[in-house]
Amino acid sequence: MKHLTTLLLPALLLFSCGKPDTPSGSAPAKGAALSVTTVEGFVAKPSVLTERVTASGNLLPSEETELHPEASGRVVKLNLPEGRMVRKGELLLKIFDEDLKTQLRKLETQLKQAEITEQRLADLLKVKGVSQQEYDLAVLQTQTFRADIDLLRVNLNKTELRAPYDGILGLRRISPGAYVTPATAITSIRSASALKLDFAVPEKYSQQLRIGQALEFTVEGNSATHKATVQATEQRISEGSRDLQVRATVANSRGLLPGAFAEVSLALGSKSEALLIPNQAIIPQARDKKVIVCKGGKAKFVIVKTGVRQAGMIEIMEGIEAGDTVCTTGMLFLRPDASVTFSKID
């Protein structure tokens, strides 16, 4: 019996290994070659495209100055209403000046005496009572006193700090009685009449900007749309960012504060025959961009050149034509020449 089992076991193993996996007469599986991927598509067709650029900007006052005194000394008068409007020429700060006033009175007395001496010598010169040199020295003395008085008056003016223009004062940085120098920042003043808007646009749009061009912007916490007008450009492309700096004037600054972040929208023109496809149809590559076009039921990978992005759509400038159907879903599962069917076409 033992010998019989030993003889039958190899026969059973041979029969088991040689049994086919598929029924007799059936065709072998084709694998992925017969698989069909179902995706969604979009038909590229000419549309009207408004070429609009969005950028981030900052609101700035039309004028803003940090105020410093021109002279050193002790503050004897302070008129800095924080956050309030002041008029041009209004006195904001006064530095102790009694020593300068005393010197001024002394020089004015000396000038009067010098003028009397000059007049006397002039009368004597007419009758040859003095030499021309003595008279010239008297004239020089008079002119010197006048120049010293003018210089002293200039120094007296430096003890006063006045508003350079109509504007709103910032926060006060000193207290009464403080000793200040020209390096001491007293406060800041900004113009309340208008605001400026600074932003940057990519280099490729620099030739499409023009002075006087209208734009729109919004600010954080305010749903209203505000308007502005392009005032000037930097006239130089930044080497680091490859952007062009632009400055615009805000039409109505009511309710807006300097320093606020602004989202800028600038229309640069329109095209009536622009080819637009959804953004998700673009496959970014290291050096270019591709889309998958369905032709004859097969997937074709095509290199495209893109243009302006707008509301989930992107302009195709080169690579496809009107009427081409591009795949918008399932791109990760598609390979060149793979069979494609569409579950939905927009």
Q: What is the pLDDT of residue 60?
A: 93
Provide CB contacts within 8 A for 179, sequence distance 6+.
72, 73, 74, 75
* Same domain (yes/no): 151, 168: yes
Q: What is the mean pLDDT of residues 306-322?
A: 86
* Same domain (yes/no): 214, 286: no
Task: Report the alpha-carbon distance of residue 303 to residue 230 in Å, rounded.
Answer: 37
**Last residue of one domain, picked from the residues 230, 249, 271:** 271
Whether 3 has a pLDDT exceeding 50, the answer reads: no
Q: Is residue 288 part of a domain?
A: yes
C-beta separation of 216 from 226 below 8 A: yes
**Last residue of one domain, picked from the residues 271, 298, 313:** 271
Q: Is residue 182 part of a domain?
A: yes
* Same domain (yes/no): 143, 290: no
Q: Is residue 19 part of a domain?
A: no
Q: Is residue 236 part of a domain?
A: yes
Q: Is residue 179 part of a domain?
A: yes
Q: Is residue 10 part of a domain?
A: no
* Same domain (yes/no): 265, 280: no
* Same domain (yes/no): 184, 82: yes
CA trace torsion 203, 208, 212, 213 (10° rounding) = -100
Q: Which three-class secondary structure string do you get for the chain?
A: CHHHHHHHHHHHHHHHHCCCCCCCCCCCCCHHHHCEEEEEEEECEEEEEEEEEEEEEEEEECCEEEECCCCCEEEEEECCCCCCEECCCCEEEEECCHHHHHHHHHHHHHHHHHHHHHHHHHHHHHCCCCCHHHHHHHHHHHHHHHHHHHHHHHHHHCCEEECCCCEEECCCCCCCCCEECCCCCCEEEECCCCEEEEEEEEHHHHHHCCCCCEEEEEECCEEEEEEEEEEEEEEEECCCCCEEEEEEEECCCCCCCCCCEEEEEEEEEEEEEEEEEEHHHCEECCCCEEEEEEECCEEEEEEEEEEEEECCEEEEEECCCCCCEEECCCHHHCCCCCEEEEEEEC
Backbone phi, psi, residue 191, to 5°: -70, 135
* Same domain (yes/no): 172, 209: no
User: Could you tell me the pLDDT band of residue 267, with boundaries at 50, 70 and 90?
Assistant: confident
Q: What is the pLDDT of residue 5?
A: 42
Which residues span the domain enclosing 111? 74-189
**Tokens encoding 97:** 């000046």
* Same domain (yes/no): 215, 164: no
Q: What is the pLDDT of residue 49?
A: 78
**Last residue of one domain, picked from the residues 221, 253, 271:** 271
- Which CATH number goes with the domain that contains 41? 2.40.420.20
* Same domain (yes/no): 337, 285: yes
Mean pLDDT estimate for the chain = 86
* Same domain (yes/no): 252, 185: no
- Which CATH number goes with the domain that contains 263? 2.40.30.170
Whether 239 has a pLDDT exceeding 90, the answer reads: no
Give the N- to C-terminal CA distance of the chain in Å, as an integer.
77
* Same domain (yes/no): 59, 135: no
CA angle 194, 197, 199 (to 5 degrees): 170
Task: Report the alpha-carbon distance of residue 212 to residue 201 in Å, rounded.
Answer: 16
Q: What is the pLDDT of residue 221?
A: 82
Q: What is the pLDDT of residue 24?
A: 37
* Same domain (yes/no): 181, 88: yes
* Same domain (yes/no): 331, 309: yes
Q: Is residue 13 part of a domain?
A: no
Whether 29 has a pLDDT exceeding 50, the answer reads: no
* Count of domains for the chain: 3
Q: Is residue 133 part of a domain?
A: yes
Q: What is the mean pLDDT of residues 249-273?
A: 86
pLDDT digits (tens, 9 = 90+) for 289-300: 999 999 888 999
Whether 19 has a pLDDT exceeding 50, the answer reads: no
pTM for this entry:
0.62
Among the listed ranges 5-14, 259-268, 280-289, 334-343, which one has the minimum average pLDDT value? 5-14
Task: Report the alpha-carbon distance of residue 195 to residue 86 in Å, rounded.
Answer: 18
